[in-house]
């Protein structure tokens, strides 16, 4: 009896140990699961936060994109409006030229042109023109303009676009302007130089110009003039010389001489005035020159392909 009792007690203790062990193992397993579950919940929360941040950023980007698109559309519309306005102005200018030629108008026209630029001083010219709400024509070249060679710290690369954006006519004065270094060797050498400048203007401004001025004037082309002008015509270009100037392309000692040169040269009803945007002397008399032309009934306009002053 005593032995049986002992056995039963042992069995109960064993069962109790086993039970306790099972409870411990189960508790341990459950606890582990709980920890894992909690971690997953935490990860999930972080993921949700990240997703919502990302969503917000994406929505903001979409908003910026759509605003940019709207701005681009409105700019495109403005550009189209400007092109249309320019066409209207040029058509009116054509009519006025005809009336002036037939002595049917009291008004006269002055086409102010600037050669050989852009220079770092072109900004000053642009500001003066803006101040007087006057549009001009820039016969640009390309060589060395990345360093704007009278001021090595200043690049003129952006100036082409400024000229167009501010409503002026941009025109082609050849890329190299190398009058004594091969430009006038042959028709091909001249035309290639024109094409090179055409490409530069197009790259810098998105605009294709159709007016050329011969470096030194068309007479500098000598015997080649006819063949060059024919080729220019085939390419859709007109060309223009000038009828007035202040002598700033040569030697002008001071503003007094420049002013006298300028006023003495103004005597036709339709004038093409030659200036250079590198000339400090011209820049200093430019406001007075604009006022002088306006007081003498000249309407100052930018050149356009159909002008009678543009030879075709």
Q: Is 247 in the site for Zn ion (CB under 5 A)?
A: no
Nearer to Zn ion, 113 or 210 (CB): 113
What phi, psi does 171 have (nearest 5°)?
A: -135, 170
Closest separation between CB of residue 173 and Zn ion, Å? Answer: 6
Q: Is 215 in the site for Zn ion (CB under 5 A)?
A: yes
Q: Is 248 in the site for Zn ion (CB under 5 A)?
A: no
CB 190, CB 154: distance < 8 Å: no
| Residue of 207, 232, 197 lying closest to 218 (CA atoms) | 232
Closest separation between CB of residue 114 and Zn ion, Å? Answer: 10
108 DSSP β-pair partners: 298
> CB-based burial of residue 66 (10 Å sphere; 0-12 exposed, 13-18 middle, 19+ buried)?
exposed
Closest separation between CB of residue 276 and Zn ion, Å? Answer: 7
- Name the one range near Zn ion by CB under 5 A: 123-131, 212-220, 221-229, 301-309: 212-220
Closest separation between CB of residue 171 and Zn ion, Å? Answer: 11
Looking at residues 87 to 146 of the shown chain, list those that interact with Zn ion (rule: CB under 5 A).
Answer: 115-116
Nearer to Zn ion, 118 or 215 (CB): 215
CB 273, CB 242: distance < 8 Å: yes
Q: Which residue is nearest to Zn ion (CB)?
A: 115
Q: Is 277 in the site for Zn ion (CB under 5 A)?
A: no
Residue position matching structure tokens 């010219």: 125
Distance CA(271)–CA(264), nearest Å, equals 12
For Zn ion, the binding residues (CB under 5 A) are: 115-116, 215
């Amino acid at each position: 009896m005593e032995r049986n009792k002992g056995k039963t007690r042992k069995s109960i203790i064993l069962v109790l140990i086993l039970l306790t062990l099972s409870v411990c193992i189960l508790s341990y397993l459950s606890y582990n699961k709980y920890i894992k579950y909690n971690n997953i919940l935490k990860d999930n929360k972080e993921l949700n936060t990240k997703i919502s941040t990302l969503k917000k950023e994406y929505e903001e980007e979409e908003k910026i994109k759509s605003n940019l698109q709207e701005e681009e559309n409105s700019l495109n519309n403005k550009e189209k409006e400007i092109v249309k306005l320019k066409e209207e102005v040029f058509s009116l200018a054509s009519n006025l030229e005809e009336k002036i030629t037939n002595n049917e108008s009291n008004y006269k026209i002055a086409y102010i042109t600037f050669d050989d630029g852009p220079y770092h001083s072109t900004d000053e010219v642009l500001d003066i023109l803006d101040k007087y709400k006057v549009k001009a024509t820039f016969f640009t070249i390309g060589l060395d303009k990345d360093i704007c060679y009278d001021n090595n710290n200043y690049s003129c690369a952006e100036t082409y676009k400024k000229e167009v954006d501010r409503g002026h006519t941009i025109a082609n004065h050849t890329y190299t302007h190398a009058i004594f270094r091969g430009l006038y060797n042959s028709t091909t050498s001249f035309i290639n130089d024109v094409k090179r400048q055409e490409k530069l203007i197009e790259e810098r401004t998105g605009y294709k110009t159709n007016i050329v001025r011969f470096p030194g004037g068309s007479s500098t082309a000598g015997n080649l003039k006819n063949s060059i002008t024919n080729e220019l015509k085939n390419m859709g270009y007109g060309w223009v010389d000038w009828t007035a100037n202040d002598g700033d392309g040569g030697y002008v000692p001071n503003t007094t001489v420049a002013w006298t040169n300028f006023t003495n040269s103004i005597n036709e009803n339709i004038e093409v005035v030659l200036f250079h945007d590198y000339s400090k002397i011209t820049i200093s008399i430019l406001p007075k020159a604009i006022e002088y032309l306006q007081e003498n009934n000249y309407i100052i306009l930018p050149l356009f392909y159909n002008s009678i002053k543009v030879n075709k």
